[in-house]
Chain A
């Protein structure tokens, strides 16, 4: 038995809370070897980038003092948004953003607040912006007295921002804890990742930088603490004391009000005066009461069709409701959009090839070849769904496998839904492509190609799904029960599965060669297009053969793989 030393002083709550903050931040970053490596790489990249950016800002301000007010305001506004959005976006990933977890302990709410504010100073989001703020300070200071004054203003700004983040978190606790918010996040993270590609400027020049800095959109910051802080620092720099005192006073007042608001909200929740029910309470529509007599409906399904239809309905509902599928859908639309754009450009530039054999060959077959290319990229975008048909089930796979349905019907039902989706997206994509490139005459053939290639890819995906099941991973986020997102272990695992899916696609491409030949050979003039009457039905028969063969293999494999799939998707504690 451990006997505590009576003279030993207990650790102060403040120190304990700071330790907890560090531990939780580190815990979120180091859940596995993969995430530790990921964190180290991020730190090795992000901190030098931050320091490099700080040097750039320093020299830019030194060389163009006239830009000082703009750059100050813009950077502070960006930091403001970054800092107070971090706790909101990270709420479901990092327990340290939820102060109410500490309410069961005998700690004062003021201690919780203070520890949270101080702890926030050491967060990655704060540390990354710090070098830039220091650079701004160093570039704008002309005397030690002014330096101290500017530093105080920046510290006050920092306090206000962190307090604002706290107040917002506390005010939105119900929403942040809700399933709906987690769902939004699952879609939001990939959206941010995709937006990065879209907004990354190409051929960015110096004049672009000046116009970006002086863009009127930044003026919104004038009405918020970043604007007051920037104005006060700029006024100090140019000796406009009246403006400096005015802006600094505004910052002080807003900071006091923000801190007071955060503390009051915390106190109210601490004392149980504020409800924490999820904000997304919906009006519930009760289902119809029991029907006394069951009247068989017309066209009632029988036999194998009953479970197939039930499972297809369930799969469709999941695709509509589950945010993981929405996030995956965004990837597909992005990939499709990017390749439609690229292929359209290639197509519009074909006249540059000049006359001759190549030009004539292209004019006859480019639409078909492009359609095959686009559908290939579309299928690549959907490999996560196609090659992991059980992945979206998660732990519910236990329930699925407890039904007495022949296992091939599970696969068939999922393929019906996934195949329909692929065909729908593909038809729209190819329709848009053929319309934009003025090749609508090739549309029927493109559609036949899609009908031919989809079962082959589904067949390849089915085999991979049974042999290599995994939990669904959407852009580095592994989803678990209830839509909880977890980061970390998924990164390395996700890469492995990405490679596997790529191999699967390569195998599918090889398997598709006969089908592609059925579409391409008559279109390039090697044989008369009349032969389509033979090649296309043969191609479709070949696709059906591939699909049925995959089902036959799966029937044999499932006998031994069923329990392994359950263990993979619903591991026991």
Chain B
């Protein structure tokens, strides 16, 4: 397990519900990600992606299972793990009353980086993320895309060995998206592992060396894109096709039935056209 950047076995999370019931958000998930991998973690809404990432990063205690990151056991040495990872959570959770430079400087120093070096890295990342012009504006007044860029910069500032990114490209414009993709590629080429969840299949297809698909809390497929195509028996399938097949949204006559049910959508549109 020490040869992996991320090693997780039997990861399970159960949440207690009202009335003494409980719900299993993540069920017996095992992951093995090697150093330098760009690992895509896909799944529909509510599949358990964010819960898994929270458990891998020590922000949520698993009900059962074991996590080893960069050779350190999360249950034994969580702080050492946090030294080596960067996290971009889905809901960002930033210090919104700080400006972007203040946030980055703060984050760098929290990783123990001396102030002068922290300032240099802050300037570099602000330039990369095109946030230099925001100056003293507080993050609370940023757009969603700008907030995400600030959060991403804060996650990268200590040059982590493993980067956990939950939906990093949501709300980010094409130019910044390209710049971030390039920097992530450079980081993986230098040995950084990127664990990356996204809904944007094209980005995952372009970037990821390996992909895991989670549905209803369980991993339903894992491997390279070629592996997944091989498993599905369709060599030309796009990742989106494979994903839809794997999570079970395209089977039987469900799509046709849905189309039937929604026929009124077209008829309403036609009626509106007629009204014109």
A-side interface residues toward B, CB under 8 Å? 1, 179, 282, 284-291, 294-297, 300-303, 306-307, 309-311, 313-314, 317-318, 321-322, 395-399, 401-406, 481-483, 563, 566-567, 570, 572-573
Contact = CB atoms under 8 A, between A and B. Distances in A.
Contact of A570 (B61, B91, B117): B91
Given A321-B97, A402-B57, A402-B82, A291 B120 contact: yes
Nearest to A307: B110
B82 A403 contact: yes
Given A306-B113, A398-B93, A317 B119 contact: no
16 contacts: A284-B135, A286-B135, A290-B120, A294-B120, A295-B116, A297-B115, A300-B115, A300-B116, A306-B112, A306-B114, A307-B109, A307-B110, A310-B109, A311-B110, A317-B97, A482-B96
Nearest to B108: A310
Contacts of B112: 303, 306-307, 404
B99 to A, nearest CB: 8
Contacts, number: 136
A287 B132 contact: yes
Given A313-B106, A317-B102, A563-B61, A297 B116 contact: yes
Contacts of B114: 296, 300-302, 306
A310 B110 CA distance: 7
Given A403-B110, A405-B110, A570-B93, 14 more contacts: A1-B264, A284-B135, A285-B136, A290-B127, A294-B119, A294-B120, A297-B116, A314-B102, A396-B93, A396-B96, A398-B91, A403-B107, A406-B79, A572-B54
Interface stretch (B137-145, B185-193, B234-242, B243-251): B137-145
A313 to B, nearest CB: 7
A314 B106 contact: yes
B98 A317 contact: yes
Nearest to B25: A572
A301 B114 CA distance: 6
A285 B135 contact: yes
A495 B50 CA distance: 34
Nearest to B125: A290
A296 B118 CA distance: 10
B211 interface: no
Contacts of A402: 57-59, 82, 85, 87
B122 to A, nearest CB: 8
Contacts of B264: 1
Contacts of A290: 120, 123-124, 127
Given A289-B123, A311-B110, A483 B140 contact: yes
Most central of B54, B61, B105, B110 by chain A CB within 10 Å = B110
A396 B140 contact: no
A481 B60 CA distance: 20
Interface of B: 50-51, 54, 57-61, 79-83, 85, 87, 89, 91, 93-98, 101-102, 105-107, 109-117, 119-120, 123-124, 126-127, 132-138, 140-141, 154, 261, 264
B215 to A, nearest CB: 19
Mostly, the B contact residues are helix
A398 B151 CA distance: 12
B98 to A, nearest CB: 6
B57 to A, nearest CB: 6
A301 B96 contact: no
Most central of B61, B97, B136 by chain A CB within 10 Å = B97
Contacts of A309: 109
Contacts of A314: 95, 98, 102, 106
Contacts of B132: 286-287, 289
Contact of A179 (B116, B117, B126, B141): B141
B204 to A, nearest CB: 23
A572 B89 CA distance: 11
A321 B138 contact: yes
B60 A566 contact: yes
B120 A399 contact: no
Contacts of B113: 306
Contacts of B85: 402
Contacts of B96: 396, 481-483
When A and B form their complex, which 10 residue pairs have the shortest distance between CB atoms, in order from nearest?
Answer: A310-B109, A404-B83, A404-B82, A403-B110, A290-B123, A398-B93, A395-B93, A294-B120, A284-B135, A285-B135
Nearest to B96: A482
Most central of A311, A403, A404 by chain B CB within 10 Å = A404
B201 to A, nearest CB: 23
B59 A401 contact: yes
Nearest to A567: B60
A303 B96 CA distance: 27
A284 B134 contact: yes
A397 B54 CA distance: 13
B116 A296 contact: yes
Nearest to A410: B110
Given A294-B117, A563-B59, A287 B101 contact: yes
Contact of B133 (A286, A300, A306, A481): A286
B65 to A, nearest CB: 14
A66 B109 CA distance: 73
A396 B116 contact: no
Contacts of A405: 79, 110
A14 B129 CA distance: 48
Contact of B111 (A291, A404, A483): A404
Contacts of A311: 106, 110
Nearest to A394: B93
B117 A399 contact: no
B83 A294 contact: no
A134 B172 CA distance: 58
Contacts of B134: 284
B30 to A, nearest CB: 21
B162 to A, nearest CB: 12
B35 to A, nearest CB: 19
Contacts of B109: 306-307, 309-310
A291 B95 contact: no
A287 B54 CA distance: 33
Nearest to B155: A402
Contacts of A317: 97-98, 102
Contact of B140 (A179, A288, A306, A401): A179
Most central of B54, B61, B95 by chain A CB within 10 Å = B95
A206 B182 CA distance: 79
A284 B97 contact: no
Given A296-B116, A307-B110, A405-B110, A399 B154 contact: yes
Contacts of B95: 314, 318, 396, 399
A402 B127 CA distance: 24
Contact of B51 (A287, A306, A572): A572
